Every structure is written in C-alpha cells, then in structure tokens.
Structure 1
C-alpha cells in the first residue's frame, strides 16, 4: 500500500521493556502448534511439551491516542507481538484461551513450515510469514489494533473497532524449542 509506512510513522512511539520474563516456560507456542478443528469449535490439545521463551511488556501503558511500533522477529522460530494487560503472565489459563482479552499476532514453526495465528478469536492466517519486522498499530480511540509486514508494506491482520480494553502495554514473546 503506497504511503502506508509514512502514515504509520507519524504515530511512532519509543518505549522500554521494563517487565520481562526469561528462561521459563509457557504454553503459548505449543498450544498454537497443537490446535485442531473439531466440530463445532476450535480446541487446543496439549502433549505436555513446553517452549523456552523470552517475554517482555512495555513500561508505559496506553489508554488514548494512536501508537505505532515495530518488532524485529526475523531470528525467532516462534514469536508473538501485540498488546497485553498487566496480568497476562500471572494467568493460569493459556494465552490462546478464549477468555483472554490480550491481542497477539503469533507465528509458530511446525516441522519445516510456519503458521501465523491471531488470538481472541484464535484464527489461523493463510498468509506468508513476515521476515524482518512486524509493525503494530494501536488506535486506542477506536479500540483496534493492526499488524503490518514492514518489508512488504502490507496489512497482515486487523482486529475490529472496539475489541481492545484499556490500559494496554506493548508485548513481545519469542520462543525456541
């Protein structure tokens, strides 16, 4: 899309990750890897495996205005970017649980291919995995969030207006099996 990146950069925000967790385990990527469709809904089946991960969320929370940032995801097999509430890491349920209100775009590697997913609703995306950076555009005023393939200047996914509840923080999680 011509002009997309210039428009998004008008809303650029710098922030630091003051909250992080590493060298622990989380079900996020294994949940996504083992999703299968069963009538009438989507269910996750776990084999008990876990992935090592690094997760971080921003020091600053957002409640109004428009914000844009980018995350480098090129070197990770598994990754998730998006927005989260402060309490996401303390939840006992999985991040892909439908009761979760955090919004992520995630990529998981299975065998020799990658699959992109969204959370809430958990939806597989049948598009190519972005290489390099993923842009995150948060519009607090309309309550939506969009993900952009920076290299291709194209929209990957957009959550509808009103799906976000505030305050939220930038979030990234990378994992390796």
Structure 2
C-alpha cells in the first residue's frame, strides 16, 4: 500500500507546474539598421573605473533569482566590475552607437546623467531615475534582461554580438536593438529622458 502511494506521488509530481523564465521572440524590422546608421556617432569612453561599490549585477541577480524586494541590497560588493562613460554629453539631435557584448558575463549599456555618475548607489535603487540602461545578468545557464528607470524585466532572448543604443533627444526617448537580429529590444516612452546624458557601459566578471 505504501509503495502504491509513493508511485502515485511520483506520478503527481510530474504534473506539477515548474517555474519558467519565458523568452519571447521578436520579429526582424526591415530597414531598421540602415535607418539607425544615419545617426551613428563616434565618441570616446575615456572615463573608466573598476570597483565593487556599485551593486548593479548583484542587485539584478537577486531580483531575478531570489525574488527579494526592489529595495534590497547586498552587504558589500561581491562582483568585480569595469565601468566606463563617454567624454561627451548629448543634449539635442539623434545619436546611435553600438557595443559588443558577446564575451561579457554580465553587462549594462545605455545612457546616464552626470548626477548619477557622482553617486555611489546601486543602479537599480528606486531613487535612481538618472540612468537608462539595458542590463543582462547571468545565473548558471540562464540570462535575464532588465531595463532601469523603472526597473523592468524583459522576457526576450539575450542579444549575441552587438547591442545598438539609439538616443532621440527631440522626443526624449532611448531605444535598444539587437543588431544581429535587427529587432527592437526595448524603447522608452517619449519624454522620459531629460538631458544632458552620457553613453555608459559596464561589464562584470
């Protein structure tokens, strides 16, 4: 009788829903990259820092895999990171640039304001509305994408290769694209971004 119950329990476990992190496909947009390349800009990421104080990836990983609150933070930095931001700030017009991310374990790319660069806060802190980033964190064999301001999980595949970043100062919007697949990853609503902002890139190892 006990053996029958154990077999029934094992059979029931096979039908218990398992937690999933879905990845939704996006369709390529014809002519997207040709249009964006009209606004390509060159600049230097000359301001560099390597530290453990900004809890970018630890906070994002905790949100993804431990389901803690948005205001949770780790005690001390546990992940070494390299961050760099542009020597030029943008206030008008349209600008497009790309960053190679395929060899990065964790990464973040986008724009930030000078007011945030001078802080020693986590990028995902609720008080930080001065950075507009696409963030990727890796845990085991899974990658999770987030955007900041506000912190939002994206259930799409991680880009392999280059991520494109498009700034439209006239509309006050920022967009991220998967260059290889010619797909839109995320677009901020018009008017969310105020200026000036600087290009920003961060990677953790």
Q: Give TM class, smaller chain.
A: over 0.9
Q: 2: CA distance between counterparts of 1:48 and 1:169?
A: 27
2:71/2:125 contact within 8 Å kept: no
More helix by share: 2
Q: 1:8 aligns with which of 36, 43, 46?
A: 36
Partner SS for 2:80:
strand
Name segments (4+ residues, structure 1) moved above 2 Å. Answer: 41-50, 87-90
Provide the aligned length of Structure 1 versus Structure 2. 173
Provide, for residues 65-119 of structure 1, a one-character-per-residue CA deviation record: whole Å limited to 9, x for no partner: 0000000001001000000112323313311112212100000001221100000
2:58/2:78 contact within 8 Å kept: yes
Q: 2: CA distance between counterparts of 1:45 and 1:27?
A: 8
1:43 to partner: Cα distance: 3.9
Partner of 1:52: 80
Structure 2 residue 92 is the aligned partner of structure 1 residue 64: yes
TM-score of the pair, normalised by structure 2: 0.80
2:81/2:204 contact within 8 Å kept: yes
Q: 2: CA distance between counterparts of 1:87 and 1:121?
A: 17
1:12/1:69 contact within 8 Å kept: yes
TM-score of the pair, normalised by structure 1: 0.92
Comparing 121-130 with 47-56, greater Cα deviation is found at 47-56
1:123 to partner: Cα distance: 0.7
Q: 2: CA distance between counterparts of 1:97 and 1:171?
A: 17
Q: 1: CA distance between counterparts of 2:144 and 2:115?
A: 27
Q: 2:160 aligns with which of 131, 136, 139?
A: 131
1:29/1:78 contact within 8 Å kept: yes
Partner SS for 1:138:
strand
Partner of 1:173: 202
Instruction: Give the superposed CA RMSD.
Output: 1.5
Where structure 1 has 5 or more consecutive residues not aligned to the other structure, the ranges are none
Where structure 2 has 5 or more consecutive residues not aligned to the other structure, the ranges are 1-28
Structure 2 residue 187 is the aligned partner of structure 1 residue 158: yes
2:96/2:164 contact within 8 Å kept: yes
